[in-house]
């Protein structure tokens, strides 16, 4: 979770909502009109990325080691820095 918060801050992205998950996890989302249907669930060694649609959702895992980089696919899912200006 610390790596995600650091990434958001360093890249100027908007601050998220964070709450405890069902497992020993953190759930993350954004209450912004430009950030629709995105939720993250942060585990110790991975992040589950959820994109909801009308009926179902897509989910994929982003493997992550503490202090390591995030993939380009993961970075592309996050809200862009310019959405922070509209908060």
Q: What is the pLDDT of residues 18-28, one digit of tens each?
A: 999 998 999 99
Average pLDDT, the chain: 92
The count of structural domains within the chain is 1
pTM score of the predicted model: 0.89
Does any domain span residue 75?
yes
Does any domain span residue 25?
yes
Does any domain span residue 85?
no
Residues with Cβ within 8 Å of 80's Cβ and at least 6 positions away in sequence, in order, are: 13
For residues 64 and 62, give the distance between their C-alpha atoms in angstroms, rounded to a whole number.
6
Is 86's pLDDT higher than 80? no
46 in Cβ contact with 61 (< 8 Å):
yes
Is 10's pLDDT higher than 60? yes
Does any domain span residue 61?
yes
In the three-class reduction of DSSP (H, G, I as helix; E, B as strand; rest coil), residue 71 is classed as coil
Q: Which two tokens mark 21?
A: 């998950």
- At 30-39, the pLDDT tens digits run 999 888 899 9
> Strands 17-20 and 57-63: what pairing?
unpaired
């Amino acid at each position: 979770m610390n790596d995600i918060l650091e990434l958001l801050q360093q890249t100027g992205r908007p601050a998220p909502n964070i709450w405890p998950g069902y497992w020993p996890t953190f759930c993350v989302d954004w209450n912004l009109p430009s950030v629709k249907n995105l939720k993250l669930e942060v585990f110790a060694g991975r992040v589950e990325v959820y994109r909801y649609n009308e009926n179902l959702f897509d989910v994929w895992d982003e493997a992550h080691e503490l202090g390591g980089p995030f993939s380009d696919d993961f970075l592309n899912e996050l809200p862009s820095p310019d959405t922070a200006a509209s908060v």
